[in-house]
Amino acid sequence: MENYVGKRLDGRYEIIEIIDVGGMAVVYKAFDNIDNRIVAVKILKDEYLTNEEFRRRFKNESKAIAVLSHPNIVKVFDVSYGDRLQYIVMEYVEGITLKEYISQQGTIEIREAIYFVTQILRALQHAHDKGIVHRDIKPQNIMLIADGTIKVTDFGIARFARSDTKTMTDSAIGSVHYISPEQAKGSVMDAKTDIYSVGVVLYEMLTGKLPFQSENAVSVALMQLQSEPEKPRNINPDIPVGLEQIVMRAMQKNPNDRYQSASEMLMDIDEYKKNPNIKFDYSYYVDRQPTKYIPSAQEIAREYQKQVSRPAQQPTQPPRAPRQNRSEQEQKAAAARKRTLAVLAALLAALAIFAAVLVHLYSKSSNRVDVPYLVGKNLQAEVLGQEAYEDFELVYEYDEESKDEAGTIVRQEPEKGKVEKGSTITLYIATGEDEKRVPDVYGFEYSSAQSILKAENFEVRIEKEANNDREAGTVIRTSPARDEKVAEGATITMYVATADDQEPVEVPDLMGMTIDEAKDALEEAGLALDSSRTEYRASSQTRGQIIGYESLGESVLPGTKIAVYVSTGQLPTAATTTTAPSTTTTTAPSTTESTTVTTTAPSTTADSDVTVSTSQTSTTAADDEPVLDAEG
Amino acid sequence: MKTVGNSDVGRVRQNNEDAFRFGRIDDSVCWAVVCDGMGGASGGQIASTIAADMVSKKIEKCYNKSMSESSIENMLLSAITTANVTVYDRAIADEFLNGMGTTIVAAVIKNNHANIAHVGDSRAYLLKDGTITQLTKDHSLVQEMFDQGQLSRAELKNNNLRNIITRALGVSEGVEIEFNNTDLKKGDVLLLCSDGLTVEVSDEEILKLFGSTKFEQFPAKLIEQANKAGGKDNITVVAVQG
């Protein structure tokens, strides 16, 4: 692999100097002479250049990464998959890595640590929403700019090949400190893997130490699997309990015990920010409650507290007084007639007992309550924490199919009837339509843009639009616009700059020409003959000659179709009409009818040094892989 | 004694970063070296070549027939440490070569006895009496995890950390070399290989192929098998028969 310093890629990126040499790529600082800015260019080692599978995966991944557009993620501007060269053009970030900052500072002040981790989590949520897991979150991959902005870098690109590339533990050690147990084992990795790594980063910032430290890199990996980290507060007692709980939850060995998403962790951090004295109710026994769309952690904590601290339900006793009074009265009345009424008294006493039993039975049944009808209510606003529903054990299930607004209760079991107090009611809650952000494809070549949008499960419509400032075939804008939130599966219209030069052209003089000649003349001028509207008119001129045409003497937009009027060669008589008998081709004086002019097919070049030419035809149906090899 | 060796770029990689050498000193003495390069922008081709060259030259120059087993080991130690320093110096001198390194497995066979030295995850195997034994232990993260009972044998195979090695030449000033030795009776085969073989071909399959292939074809056959199974990495095999 050659050193590209001093060279220019695709005539556009002028390589200035080496920034970093890694296992898979060399990163250079370069100048983009089209957008006039400094960029970072990551040139992949030609290790895998000839491997089809690698190139395909790289292509797909880099397209996916290019869609990531977030202030806390290093932006990918361009990706090139040429035959000889594969490179990625990224935002050039002027700053230091979080790793360097931590080693400079020792411990990071709590507020600052929160500020950093919040940004990291936002970046991750953005990526996770797009189905991208970073898998290598560590302070070396997190850039810190002078103003405190965090930029996460090195998402996915070329990562999948990493397991085939030999690395020394010392290079890998950086990762080993932050890898999740499931990564160490080689199990499935998902968003929760990133959460674990963020937990370690937060741990490190707050305590100044890594949770698992050893001289021996290998021991670290083992510790990730088996050891419990020392509690942060043991190292630094200034760390508030709630914050420690957040770190520990993110670092749970079992992914199911961690925060299930970056947003979830952010929620807790928000709660903590509002109240630094907060104590979360986390215990790591089996927690069956689904965590998606959970009412705020506060709500859950409150709910949990209530259920735990509620005293055992007692059947409500009817007031005792009447019975007592009655028996007293009975006794007083019977006092005079003691003997004879002793039996009566006994009988009455028996009755009283019987009554008591009845009463007791009655009170037992008053332990039953009506099932409240909650369908249609909003869980958060109208049900949770409401006293009216305290008698029930609410269980939540989520209904993803429902079109109702998120948080609405769409179904419940049981729906009605009487149940024992404390019974379970299962509530089915609508998760709402998934919303997604429209990817930013402005400026992208239209077929790549289309693939990107389709990859997000959007429907795509293409509208051509005249635009002088944009390169033909590129996307001018989309509707809805980039970064807007739309429902999943929505249709997005891409406005693509048309290829034609938009300067109006003069319609050439076609008088006296034959249809064929006129067709040629029009095409030469960038126009076209609209043969479906050719009119035949009576005229003394030679048959087949053009005696008139649309927009005579005018200037029209290129591509416009011009209709011509052709002489029949005969002046009008009573028997003939001005128009030729029907529009069938056989009777017309012209020879062949041709279809409308088509623009040229897309040309492709395999040479990465030549700037790409773009397709001018309208959409190709299901084209996920642009034909073009080199994309400028 | 016969020696034969072969190397192939595999089916996925662009370049072959493995290097191998072998030679015979006299009728009863021969040697072999296999190196698997890594890192640096040029991918370790330079590292593996330097190491293979240096160690082979050192063996050829320094060997003398009065050498005892411990002298042979010292010779290997000296050769490999020199190679380490040479690669390391080159790596730090040129920013483009930063981080390059290589594994090594080297053997000197004298009078039906082999002395083997290795750093990294390139291996030496003994094929004898219908059995196959791995003589060297990989210096890799997953091997250590396995040794400590944290990974099962199955988890070893496709682990995504399997590429992380704990020792290599050229990555630091010092290097820790591991030594093994074995008898190599008539008919036995000592096999040196890079992991490009063993990630694709199991020990059992190696043994099976050995039983059905002429010795001279053995490395080529193994490479063919590895390529059939995917050829994800460069494959290098050197076989010495007693």
B160 and A CB contact within 8 Å: yes
Alpha carbon B210 to its chain centroid, in Å, reads 18
Q: Please check whether residue A537 is in contact with residue A566, taking contact to mean a CB–CB distance below 8 angstroms.
A: yes
pLDDT, position A135: 81
Same domain, A74 and A131: no
Same domain, A264 and A396: no
B145 and A53 within 8 Å at the Cβ level: the answer is no
Catalytic residue from among A10, A136, A257, A440: A136
C-alpha distance from A199 to closest chain B C-alpha (Å): 21
Same domain, A544 and A570: yes
Quick count: other Cβ atoms within 10 Å of Cβ A285?
A: 5
Percent of chain A with pLDDT strictly greater than 70? 69
Whether residue A291 is contained in a domain is answered as no
* A3, closest residue in chain B (CA to CA): B96
Whether residue A313 is contained in a domain is answered as no
B150 and A226 within 8 Å at the Cβ level: the answer is yes
B41 and A217 within 8 Å at the Cβ level: the answer is no
> Which among B122, B101, B96, B196 is positioned nearest to A168, based on CA atoms?
B101
C-alpha distance from B233 to closest chain A C-alpha (Å): 7
- In this predicted structure, the answer to whether residue A568 has a pLDDT above a threshold of 80 is yes
CA atoms within a 13 Å half-sphere pointing along the CA-CB vector of A380: 12
The CA angle B1-B4-B7, to the nearest 5 degrees, is 160
Non-local CB neighbours of A311 within 8 Å, separated by 6+ positions: none
Per-chain mean pLDDT for chain A: 74
SS3 A472: coil
Residues from chain B that touch A165, judged by Cβ atoms under 8 A, are 38, 163
What is the H or E stretch that residue A491 is in? strand A491-497
Non-local CB neighbours of B94 within 8 Å, separated by 6+ positions: none
B99 and A CB contact within 8 Å: yes
Whether residue A195 is contained in a domain is answered as yes
Same domain, A255 and A193: yes
C-alpha distance from B149 to closest chain A C-alpha (Å): 9
C-alpha distance from B194 to closest chain A C-alpha (Å): 12
Domains and CATH numbers, chain B: 2-241 (3.60.40.10)
A222 and B CB contact within 8 Å: yes
pLDDT, position A169: 67
Full domain range(s) for residue A469: 435-497
Catalytic, A136? Answer: yes
- In this predicted structure, the answer to whether residue B79 has a pLDDT above a threshold of 90 is yes
pLDDT, position A621: 34
Q: How many CB pairs under 8 A join A and B?
A: 117
Q: Please check whether residue A13 is in contact with residue A30, taking contact to mean a CB–CB distance below 8 angstroms.
A: yes
Query: What residues 198-237 of chain B have any CB closer than 8 A to a CB of chain A?
Result: 232-233
A227 and B CB contact within 8 Å: no
When CB atoms are compared, the residue of A47, A54, A166 closest to B15 is A47
When CB atoms are compared, the residue of A45, A168, A183 closest to B43 is A45
When CB atoms are compared, the residue of B98, B161, B233 closest to A186 is B161
| Mutation site for A-interface testing, chosen from B139, B164, B199 by largest number of A Cβ within 10 Å | B164
Residues from chain B that touch A167, judged by Cβ atoms under 8 A, are 38-39, 163-165
Which tens digits make up the pLDDT trace of A360-386? 555 555 577 888 888 888 776 667 656
User: What is the band of A281 on the pLDDT scale with cuts at 50, 70, 90?
Assistant: confident
User: What is the band of A48 on the pLDDT scale with cuts at 50, 70, 90?
Assistant: low
> Which among A626, A631, A584 is positioned nearest to A608, based on CA atoms?
A631
CATH of residue A43: 3.30.200.20
Quick count: other Cβ atoms within 10 Å of Cβ A204?
A: 25
Which tens digits make up the pLDDT trace of A142-180? 999 988 899 998 776 545 445 566 777 666 656 778 888
B96 and A170 within 8 Å at the Cβ level: the answer is no
B168 and A CB contact within 8 Å: yes
Task: Select the more confidently predicted residue: B115 or A357.
Answer: B115
Examine the fold and report which residue of A259, A285, A311 is the final residue of a domain before the chain moves on: A285
Whether residue A3 is contained in a domain is answered as yes
Burial category of B131 from C-beta neighbours within 10 Å (exposed 0-12, middle 13-18, buried 19 and up):
exposed
How much is the average pLDDT of A495-511? 76
- In this predicted structure, the answer to whether residue A412 has a pLDDT above a threshold of 60 is yes
DSSP state at residue A311: P
CA A463 to CA A475: how far, in whole Å?
A: 10
Candidate from A185-199, A445-459, B90-104 with smallest mean pLDDT:
A445-459
Query: Between the CA atoms of A384, A386, A392 and A396, what dihedral angle is there, to the nearest 10 degrees?
Result: -10
When CB atoms are compared, the residue of B95, B121, B166 closest to A217 is B166
A21 and B95 within 8 Å at the Cβ level: the answer is yes
Residues from chain B that touch A18, judged by Cβ atoms under 8 A, are 95-96
Percent of chain A with pLDDT strictly greater than 90? 21
Same domain, A361 and A389: no
Same domain, A127 and A213: yes
Which tens digits make up the pLDDT trace of B85-130? 999 999 988 888 888 999 999 999 999 999 999 999 999 999 998 9
Residues from chain B that touch A23, judged by Cβ atoms under 8 A, are 38-39, 99
Q: Which residues pair with B108 in a beta bridge?
A: B31, B115
Same domain, A139 and A59: no
A176 and B141 within 8 Å at the Cβ level: the answer is yes
Whether residue A628 is contained in a domain is answered as no
B238 and A CB contact within 8 Å: no
| Buried b / exposed e along A450-477 (16+ C-beta atoms within 10 A) | bbbbebbebebebebeebeebebbbbbb
Whether residue A614 is contained in a domain is answered as no
Same domain, A229 and A276: yes
Decide the pairing of beta strands A418-420 and A459-465: unpaired
CATH of residue A449: 3.30.10.20
* A51, closest residue in chain B (CA to CA): B12
User: What is the band of A305 on the pLDDT scale with cuts at 50, 70, 90?
Assistant: very low
Same domain, A55 and A109: no
What is the H or E stretch that residue A129 is in? helix A110-129
Residues from chain A that touch B155, judged by Cβ atoms under 8 A, are 185-186
Domain count, chain A: 6
Examine the fold and report which residue of A314, A338, A366 is the final residue of a domain before the chain moves on: A366
Residues from chain A that touch B11, judged by Cβ atoms under 8 A, are 51
Same domain, A191 and A264: yes
Same domain, A258 and A244: yes
ipTM of this predicted complex? 0.71
pLDDT, position A237: 93
Decide the pairing of beta strands A150-152 and A485-487: unpaired
Whether residue A304 is contained in a domain is answered as no
Same domain, A24 and A173: no
B171 and A168 within 8 Å at the Cβ level: the answer is yes
Examine the fold and report which residue of A285, A304, A330 is the final residue of a domain before the chain moves on: A285
Whether residue A302 is contained in a domain is answered as no
